[in-house]
Structure 1
Amino acid sequence: MSQQGGRPTGPDDDWWAQLYDDAAQDTGPAPAPDSLDDRFASAADALTDPPAATPDPTPAPAPAPAPEIPAQLRRTAPEAPGPAHPTGSPPAQAGSGPPTRDAEPTALPLADPDDLGDLVADTVLDGARYGACTVRAASVRGDAARHRGEPRREALLTARFGTGDHALVLVAMASGARATPGAHRAAAEACQWIGRAVGRSHARLAEDIRAARRGDLKSGLHRLTDRSLGKLRATAAEQGVDPEEYAAGLRCLLLPADPGCRTRVFFGVGTGGLFRLRDGDWQDIEPRVTDAAGEPVVGFGSTPAETPDGDRSTLDLGVPAPPSPFAPAPEASRAPFRFRASVARPGDTLLMCTGGLADPLRGEADLRRRLAARWSGAAPPGLAGFLTDTQVRIKGDVGYPDDRTAAAVWEA
């Protein structure tokens, strides 16, 4: 114990502070002989050896009993505080068992001072409201990448092409190949290429969506996906990288801004999930492999399928689909093109996500119930609320440590 300003400090500082403060506030008359201070003094005198003196024939009085310390001044060890979360309040959790890793970012990815543009933010958040729908989108680095100091290998793009009721909103998300150094670059490039392709054809795409030309949309978007992911294979060839390493899964939503059109178009390649929350119940509406439109896409090792007329142009879009310069990949590595066009109802919530959220949503009933309760309200959550929802911690040994990218559409 040490002294600071005449006042003791130590592990029981709070107890001493209370005692000293109480004494400093006591400005009344001197205490009576039977007061607490005199009782402490009598006890101290009784334990002190008396000075040498002539013996007194009068017997010395019996020592006073040790005083009893009032309960409010008794010295007790403070209770040990419980574990505190770094941000003050732990994130929501679902499932059973403890989380496998910390809920907050720990290690930053390694930076190159000559290529700072290659850095990827831990979290991306965006949103908008057009027509009859409200969009929320987020991409978050997974627990495993945060722990190892690796970059987020998933990319997110939200873009509006056109103006007024003829505008078209694109939400695209891509996942780079697992355990490859350039995964984040491949994912970002896939989003950029599909964004350019859709943006250049947005007027015709929006018209096809309003006119419900499902066949044209399916074939045309297949071509755009072929072209975009084929660019990744060309980039891999330029860099001398294995095309299977510089690849990405791609998932997209097209949302017309026209409030009179409730058609929502999903297309893409790779794993993930497409879900619909209707009347409080989750529906898994991910297109099946048998729903694939023709051959696998170029970006996954296949050559593009020809149109019935024998040319290699996208139906009604005039976008050429170049053949792949690479030999076809093994059948097991090919991924089918997926497409779904559906009509939304007021009150629906459409969720498109990568495997980092799709897997726990399919496997954890507690997570489904939690998100259903939070997203079935009269109004969609704000950006911060949506980000919190997408980061719900899943307890247990599985952990679900991958990146999570999700986009949800609320229908008014």
Structure 2
Amino acid sequence: MSQQGEKPTGHQDDWWGQLYDDSTEDTGPAAVADSLDDRFASAAGTMGLEPGSAAGPGPAPESGAPPQPERPPAVPEQRPGRWERGNALGPDAASGPGPLAGPGPSPSPGPWQTPPPVRHAGPPQGPPADPSVPAIFPPGPTPPGFRPQEPPSRTSTESPGAAVPASTGPLPNAPVPWDAPPPPARQNREAALAVPNRPPDVGYVGSGPPTYDAEPTTLPPADPDALEDLVADTVLDGARYGTSTLRAVSVRGDSARFRGEPRRDSLLTARFGTGEQALVLVAMATGARATPGAHLAAAEACQWIGRAVGRSHARLSEDIRAARRGDLKSGLHRLTDRSLGKLRASAAEQGIEPEEYTASLRCLLLPADPECRTRVFFGVGAGGLFRLRDGEWQDIEPRVADVTGEAVVGFGSPPHETPEGDRLTMDLGITTPPSPYEAIAEPPRAPFRFRASVARPGDTLLLCTGGLADPLRGEPGLAEQLTARWSGAEPPGLAGFLTDTQVRVKGYADDRTAAAVWEA
């Protein structure tokens, strides 16, 4: 082997084999330092080893000492492999050229190489390792200064007084006793997913499943020149302001889904203003049944009332905080009549009857001021206004007087006969012109509804159209289901609210539009 560390090439550098050949006699003392120790020191210096180390021979035996057994020839250590260079093995671990240990088989030793002797772990030569982090190495010899950590056996018993490191714990794949508590991270995750006092979802309530499918089947027809008139099957929205949490949804009914008709209900949620002066409006409208433009009329009604409230939101917000009930009722009544009047004017422009292009309108005003818990409802038409308080539903829909009735004698044109059947005039069959004092009969208008209430902590206010109000009044199972689902400490999310409002009842297949407000 040459002093540059090159491998033997056959006939070159064979002095090492001749040195240990049994046929070669000792050369004896020479004029220069050419003893065995000198040659080994020269070879050790070439390989970077220090004389007297574990790899080299020890000091020369003193005179008179018993003869020592012949030691096997020392083989220089191999250079650090690829996996060793990533560890802090000393200043010489990653320096100097040399082959890197690859994944393939190691080269076979030459005739002058022998396997390195097995060394026992001594004091570490490199930097001290952290006892809490076990050293993991690939298969092969262990780097100097490290000792692989063996997993403790569960069946073995430790000797008395043996200290166990604080960082010692169960193995990753070790079996866990069945009665052991779950880790804290898993406990927190399960507690976050579990909602107390909330029953599982149900598909329907009542005596049996509804006739129609639970999911949409047919899309409504589309006009390529009026794609903006298309209505989505479901609309979902929500927000949180002050002490209230809002959830709003509008879903096409089972009947419309089966027949491929558009959703006649329309939903609008809007915020006007900023900060505590903001005002949240929830408007929902339902178009007339069996009319081609019912969904367009409902959407237009929500847009008109939204514009009217948005332009007057500052005054409305002040009246709500100041509890001016009379001003609120008269002002909102005027805005509602103006919006529905524009809807009738739109019907006249289209050349259709006002009864065919009309909609019922129901709205809810929520102030963003956390100090104000006044909730204002107003609207025209059928629907429902409910409140869930202390686990019981309350129907707080405002009652209005019936403006229709029988004719009164002496008011307007006189009747032809009395209630007893006596005729007051003789009918001679003569056609008479209309009296100028008779008023032109107009179609009766739905009465205006208004209610301002103060919410309590824990209340749930529900505003909905007839598609949800009718089954809620007619099927006790639906009220019980919503009570169990909405009586928790936290309001449901958007997906949960959608699921709750889609609980079906046989015999009720209209569109459902609802807005619920949870009070913190």
Indicate the residue corresponding to 1:267 in structure 2: 378
Say whether 1:147 aligns with 2:271: no
Percent identity of paired positions between Structure 1 and Structure 2: 82
**Once the 2 structures are TM-superposed, how far is the Cα of residue 266 of structure 1 from its aligned partner?**
0.1
Match of 1:217 among 328, 336, 348: 328
Matching residue's letter, 1:403: D
The reply on whether 1:131 has 2:239 as its aligned counterpart is: no
Q: Is the 8 A contact 1:91 1:103 kept in 2?
A: no
Q: 1:206 to 1:392 in 2, by over 3 A?
A: same
The amino acid of 1:256's aligned partner reads P
Instruction: Give the number of aligned pairs.
Output: 287
Using the alignment, how far apart are the partners of 2:211 and 2:330 within structure 1?
Answer: 44
After superposition, residues 207-286 of structure 1 pair within 5 angstroms as: 207-286=318-397
* 1:220–1:90 CA distance, 2 compared to 1 (3 A): closer
Whether the 8 Å CA contact 1:191–1:250 is kept in 2: the answer is yes
CA deviation map 1:327-355 (0-9, x unaligned)? 65333xx2100000000000000000000
Q: Equivalents in 1 of 2:366, 2:359: separation in Å?
A: 23
Separation of aligned partners in 2, 1:383 and 1:234: 37
**Superposition deviation, residue 100 in structure 1:** 1.4
- In structure 2, C-alpha distance between the alignment counterparts of 1:122 and 1:360, rounded to whole Å: 20
Deviations 1:256-279, CA, capped at 9 Å, x for gaps: 000000000000000000000000
Match of 1:403?
511
- 1:354 is aligned to 2:462: no
Counterpart position of 1:119: 230
Q: 1:90 to 1:213 in 2, by over 3 A?
A: closer
Q: Of residues 477, 484, 487 in structure 2, which corresponds to 1:366?
A: 477
| Counterpart-to-counterpart distance in 1, 2:217 and 2:201 | 15
Deviation string, structure 1 residues 206-255 (Cα, Å, up to 9, x no partner): 00000000000000000000000111100000000100000000000000
Q: Give the deviation of 1:91 after TM superposition.
A: 5.3
Q: Which amino acid letter does the alignment assign opposite residue 187 of structure 1?
A: A
Distance 1:330 1:204 in 2: 33
Counterpart CA distance in 2 for 1:98 and 1:211 is 49
Which residue of the other structure, out of 161, 171, 178, is the alignment partner of 2:282? 171
Tell me whether 1:193 sits opposite 2:301 in the alignment. no
* Whole-Å separation in 2 of the counterparts to 1:344 and 1:378: 16
Structure number with greater CO (CA < 8 Å, separation at least 6) is: 1
Partner of 1:203: 314
Find the aligned partners of 1:164 and 1:226 in 2 and give their Cα distance. 30
TM-superposed deviation, 1:136: 0.2
The ranges of structure 1 where at least 4 consecutive aligned residues each deviate by more than 3 angstroms after the TM superposition are none
Q: Is the 8 A contact 1:131 1:257 kept in 2?
A: yes
Report the more deviating stretch, 180-189 or 386-395.
386-395
Bigger fraction of residues in strand: 1
User: Residue 443 of structure 2 corresponds to which residue in structure 1?
Assistant: 330
Rounded to whole Å, the distance in 2 between the matches of 1:107 and 1:128 is 31
Deviation at 1:197, TM superposition (A): 0.2
Measured at CA, do residues 192 and 279 of structure 1 come closer, stay the same or move farther in structure 2, by a change above 3 Å?
A: same
State the alpha-carbon separation in 2 of the partners of residues 289 and 95 from structure 1.
31
Q: Spell out, residue by residue over 1:45-96, the C-alpha distance to the aligned partner (whole angstroms, 9 max, x if none).
A: xxxxxxxxxxxxxxxxxxxxxxxxxxxxxxxxxxxxxxxxxxxx99521111
RMSD of aligned Cα (Å): 1.8
Distance 1:263 1:98 in 2: 40
Structure 1 counterpart SS, 2:215: coil
State the SS of the aligned residue for 2:211: coil
- For 2:324 and 2:331, the matched residues in 1 are separated by 11
1:380 corresponds in structure 2 to 491
Q: Distance in 1 between matches of 2:241 and 2:460?
A: 15
Aligned partner of residue 289 in structure 1, secondary structure:
coil
Determine which structure has more spread, i.e. the larger CA radius of gyration. Answer: 2
The structure-2 alpha-carbon separation of the partners of 1:175 and 1:208, relative to structure 1 and needing over 3 Å to count, comes to same
- List gaps (5 residues or longer) in structure 2: 1-199, 405-438
- Paired with 2:387 and 2:371, the residues of 1 have a C-alpha distance of 20
Aligned mates of 2:325, 2:443 — CA distance in 1: 30
Choose between structure 1 and 2: higher helix proportion: 1
SS in 2 for 1:105: coil
Deviation at 1:124, TM superposition (A): 0.2
Residue ranges of structure 1 left out of the alignment (5+ in a row)? 1-88, 296-325
Task: Output the CA distance in 1 between the equivalents of 2:209 and 2:482.
Answer: 20
For residues 382 and 328 of structure 2, what CA distance do their matches in structure 1 show?
21
Between the aligned partners of 1:234 and 1:102, the Cα distance in structure 2 is 39
Could you say which residue in structure 2 is the equivalent of 1:110? 221
Q: Counterparts of 1:196 and 1:272 in 2: how far apart (Å)? A: 23
Bigger Cα displacement from structure 2, 89-98 vs 260-269: 89-98
Q: Is the 8 A contact 2:201 2:499 kept in 1?
A: no
The TM-score, its normalising length taken from structure 1, stands at 0.68
